[in-house]
Structure 1
């Protein structure tokens, strides 16, 4: 019987340990004092574990090397994820967009499900164990050093150390550094699913404002890189929210703009009629008091400023060209993108171990004979909606199942 050493007790590591323990002795090393520290805070503490879309649709939501994941996602798909958690006592529910959460809305229940499975397989878990060195000979890992002192030997090693986002949870890029030391190419680590910093106004005035049912576009001049409909939220430095997090994956260049259509349900003609209707109602009022039924209060001063209309002008004195300019700014509420927030604030990491150096059907290294990878350490990433956790579980299963 082989001894398998799994490094990292996130979703990928726990699944890899559970699956490999069915025919091997397993040691699971975790640098924190608990399991799934990052998993605990995902989905705002509710833990979106997967999505109920057909597995064939998942690849549309994976901008980072989707083809590499065919074997793992089709082998351990979302239905098997649902079965795994329900078998281990976690009841699940489906929400908007097919997102699947625990019934309780508590990520701790997902971790309890893992704990149950790990206990049933008699897996040895060693907490507070930071891997500080790798001992290798002739393309074979012999042991790992832990906490700069003790050495743990194994026949096969699975790196599941995550990316470099949310470093306080233990994801600090250790695995990528070790993989590089072992000869692997590392695609540079960059933030993905991260808020955007914008130029164009004092965002402290807008901070906390949520806009629902709006359309956004991320553009390079006239080329649309990303477009979607939904909700965003202003922050002291720019914007966040599901649309922004997914769109951030396309912000890898300078000179990009974020365009917001504040009224996507109305075309130009319909919006013009709506504005004229409000203007008629407030014809004897000052312009600054005529937009309260059309726009959120916090937005009005900025829209007025961009329209070029004197805020104290009487509504019945606003010209047709001024009205058209107001309409344009409501449909094209645009900001230049300053950049991404830091990697430490990203939900997931883009980049990691080069997929060309990993066998997608086994997750084994093509360079080191007794090494496998799973989860966010690999250069794969997806949008929000449960896809990233599913990738971790699927790659963890494949890695554990092919020792």
Structure 2
């Protein structure tokens, strides 16, 4: 049986079905008929009120309900923002390197050219962003994908200075809610609400299939974004919005997050222990937060291709993302590994298969290195 370690998948078996069912029954029993008509394309006012107070409490976001647009996940946020910026004349956008391939593909689809800016152990190299001359940037500052680093305080100040000098930050609040070592850093949006577009979703807290998220933009962009949202779908489905609002107001969402945070930490610990025991030289990043970790093999740079390694792992029944999928420029080979969807025993088995596959690839490379050239060319 395959073990799918693709990043971005929460524990879908842990979806709070009972709480959702109770909330949905309550909503259907008490919602006014007018709630189910064509409404404000920004979304249900009830949900936007709850989101405004909840995001202020858990992420430090500064937003009035009228500033929030309910969207079908971060993917729709990126689509709306890209269309709006493209219509205003923007053609390029800075992206983290490595960074989410899915986000970059989405931006390119909607007409913006992603331009890579390197990420190191302190996050985006803001000095290189400044030198690029670009005026728009997409970041995951609270938990960078895929490296897992948090944007360092000095870099954060540099980025805000760049934004206040005319730049625009699109803040994907990726995995911010899953922090294991300390409270998460506040959202950037609170420091520069007129220079930061903030977006997040319940895809990792509840389930990606719910397709619910939020978009909070500077007021100078709001009219255009609301028009784009209306043209896209007239508005998000109302029943899930009302159910989510009730889960927030009654504390069910917070209780669910506390429960899953403990579960994910246990799974992370089991996976990390198994990996480092079997591959003691592996370099591991991103373990302090989120639902995935990154392992890299600096000593194998130029010797092992991570795409080939990922394909070999597929043959061994483990599905992974090669780090090179998310790179725009060359670097050390690596694997992006999601652990949230599997119990500890499955993760230990995945670690065993990964270690055996990596060791086999290393041995094969070493053996090929000592084969005479004529045999290599014609064997």
**TM-score scaled by length of structure 2:** 0.27
Structure having the higher helix fraction is: 2
Between Structure 1 and Structure 2, the one with more strand by share is 1
Q: Which has the larger radius of gyration?
A: 1
Give the structure-1-normalised TM-score.
Answer: 0.26
